[in-house]
Amino acid sequence: MKNVLVTGGAGFIGSNFVRYLLKVEPNVHIFNLDALTYAGSLENLKNLPDETRHTFIQGDICNEQLIGKLFHEHQIDTVVHFAAESHVDRSILGPAPFVQTNVIGTFTLLETARQAWGPDGSGKRFHHVSTDEVFGSLSPDDPAFTESTSYEPRSPYSASKAASDHLARAYFHTYGLPVTITNCSNNYGPYQFPEKLIPLMILNALQRKPLPVYGDGKQIRDWLFVEDHCEAIYLVLKNGRLGETYNIGGGNQPYNIDLVKEICSILDELKPAAKSYTELITYVVDRPGHDRRYAMDITKIRNELGWMPKHDIESGLRETVKWYLDHVNWVSAISKQAGYNDWLEKNYARREK
Ligand code: NAD
Ligand code: DAU
């Protein structure tokens, strides 16, 4: 691993991964390609561990010419592909960019890598970052998803991610492209855009705005602290077997409503107000096709690569709440980003019961 192309490295997980990789790999140079959509920001890339080994390029993963040029000019040997449209609610209100970026963009990257690397992919790696949502929705007593669970995506977001996973796997089997894939559960932690559940709840609470819980709040997600995800991807890059998929998850199963209450109680302690933040919890109209439960079986990555999450949900949540409290400048810059308030209006005004 020498010249690493990270796509989507100005987003939440990508920017955390850039920081992580600069720390653990002292000799890599990262070429960070990001279109800077509403979800990406250079604010996420301030104070990197070593700026001299990081080059930012603003551009679209669907731009074949640009990607071809990057591969050739910088002798890219490793791709870590995060760039995506990532928010389920946005995919419901406007699916087109999801098909464009997640399907066509992934195809463009795979095809460019195939042409640049030729039939001999030795010393090369294309790592595709995906999600547990491709497996669909579990009932309360169903066993957790394994790597061989059938794909059954149920939102435009997860369907587009499933399509991209299939393409990545097809490039391994058909062309021998040195592909690995990870499917991960819900991430949380520093630099997450405040459209997702945890940062949205923290920021709404601090502004004493309603905390909008969809439906009955009894949906279950498996939550993973973002740094643990970065470590898992790194181990797969180093030691994962080509053509293989690895499930990654945090091993917890809270109801959404309990998670929101936990955020409130951490805030009650760290930033006490006259009334408890729990009073702001408001049940709102559910997400259409809302997946009820996800759970990940991480036996394979644990046995093969020795990976286990280092953070439990209690310590990870506390660290996250503190991070948002301590980074008011980041919060203020991100909240002013184009379209954020419009999104809140678009997604939540129609949800009032
Ligand atoms: P994010 O929305 O925070 O960041 C996505 C980044 O991709 C942004 O910086 C955006 O500007 C960039 N981008 C979007 N379209 C682009 C395009 N056409 N060309 C170049 N850049 C583009 O997303 P995230 O939460 O960091 O997720 C990163 C990846 O991890 C995604 O592939 C997502 O499916 C996957 N994933 C996310 C989670 C999660 O809980 N957030 C869990 C599992 C997997
Ligand atoms: O499971 C992995 C996936 O996790 C990733 O692939 C996605 O990119 C990521 O966005 C996330 O998807 P979710 O839809 O699970 O995350 P989100 O934070 O949007 O919602 C988490 C849960 O909280 C979900 O059950 C919906 C609910 N929710 C969400 C929001 C934004 C609410 O109740 N209220 C809200 O306002």
pLDDT one-digit tens code per residue, 158-171: 999 999 999 999 99
* d(CA 271, ligand 2 centre) in Å: 25
- Number of C-beta neighbours around residue 267 at 10 A: 22
Kindly indicate the confidence band of residue 303, based on its pLDDT and cuts at 50, 70 and 90.
very high
* d(CA 129, ligand 2 centre) in Å: 17
Return the pLDDT at 96: 98
* d(CA 245, ligand 1 centre) in Å: 19
Kindly indicate the confidence band of residue 188, based on its pLDDT and cuts at 50, 70 and 90.
very high
Ligand 1 in reach of 11 Cβ (< 6 A): yes
Ligand 1 in reach of 10 Cβ (< 6 A): yes
- pLDDT tens figures, 96-110: 999 999 999 999 999
* d(CA 36, ligand 1 centre) in Å: 11
Return the pLDDT at 60: 98
Which atom of ligand 2 is nearest the CA belonging to 86? 8
Return the pLDDT at 337: 84
- pLDDT tens figures, 131-149: 999 999 999 999 999 999 9
Mutational pocket test of ligand 1: of 82, 101, 155, the residue with most ligand atoms within 8 Å of the beta carbon: 82
* Nearest ligand atom owner, CA of 138: 2
- 3-state secondary structure string across the chain: CCEEEEECCCCHHHHHHHHHHHHHCCCCEEEEEECCCCCCCHHHHCCCCCHHHEEEEECCCCCHHHHHHHHHHHCCCEEEECCCCCCHHHHHHCCHHHHHHHHHHHHHHHHHHHHHHCCCCCCCEEEEEEEHHHHCCCCCCCCCECCCCCCCCCCHHHHHHHHHHHHHHHHHHHHCCCEEEEEECEEECCCCCCCCHHHHHHHHHHCCCCEEEECCCCCECCEEEHHHHHHHHHHHHHHCCCCCEEEECCCCCCEHHHHHHHHHHHHHHHCCCCCCHHHHEEEECCCCCCCCECCECCHHHHHHHCCCCCCCHHHHHHHHHHHHHHCHHHHHHHHCCCCHHHHHHHHHHHHCC
Which atom of ligand 2 is nearest the CA belonging to 155? 14
* d(CA 86, ligand 2 centre) in Å: 10
Kindly indicate the confidence band of residue 338, based on its pLDDT and cuts at 50, 70 and 90.
confident
Ligand 1 in reach of 37 Cβ (< 6 A): yes
- Residue 352, pLDDT above cutoff 80: no
**What's the whole-number average pLDDT of the chain?**
97
* Core vs surface per residue 295-319: b (16+ CB within 10 A) or e: bbbbebbeeebebebebebeebbbb
Residue 7 near residue 309 (C-beta atoms within 8 A): no
Within 13 A of 130's CA, how many CA atoms are on the CB side?
35
- Residue 316, pLDDT above cutoff 80: yes
Return the pLDDT at 353: 61
Instruction: Please report, for residues 148, 186, 246, the alpha-carbon distance to residue 295 in angstroms, rounded to integers and kept in the order given.
Output: 14, 10, 14
Residue identified by tokens 């280092």 is: 310
Residue identified by tokens 């855009």 is: 193
Question: Active-site positions?
Answer: 132-133, 157
Kindly indicate the confidence band of residue 201, based on its pLDDT and cuts at 50, 70 and 90.
very high
Query: Any residues with Cβ below 6 Å from ligand 2, and which?
Result: 86-88, 131-133, 185-186, 196-197, 200, 212-214, 219, 221, 256, 287, 294
Ligand 1 in reach of 181 Cβ (< 6 A): no
Domains and CATH numbers, the chain: 3-188+223-248 (3.40.50.720)
Query: Which amino acid residue places its CA nearest to atom 5 of ligand 1?
Result: 11
Ligand 1 in reach of 62 Cβ (< 6 A): yes
Q: Rounded CA gap, 337 and 330, in Å? A: 11
Among 91, 96, 97, 128, which residue's Cα sits nearest to residue 113? 128
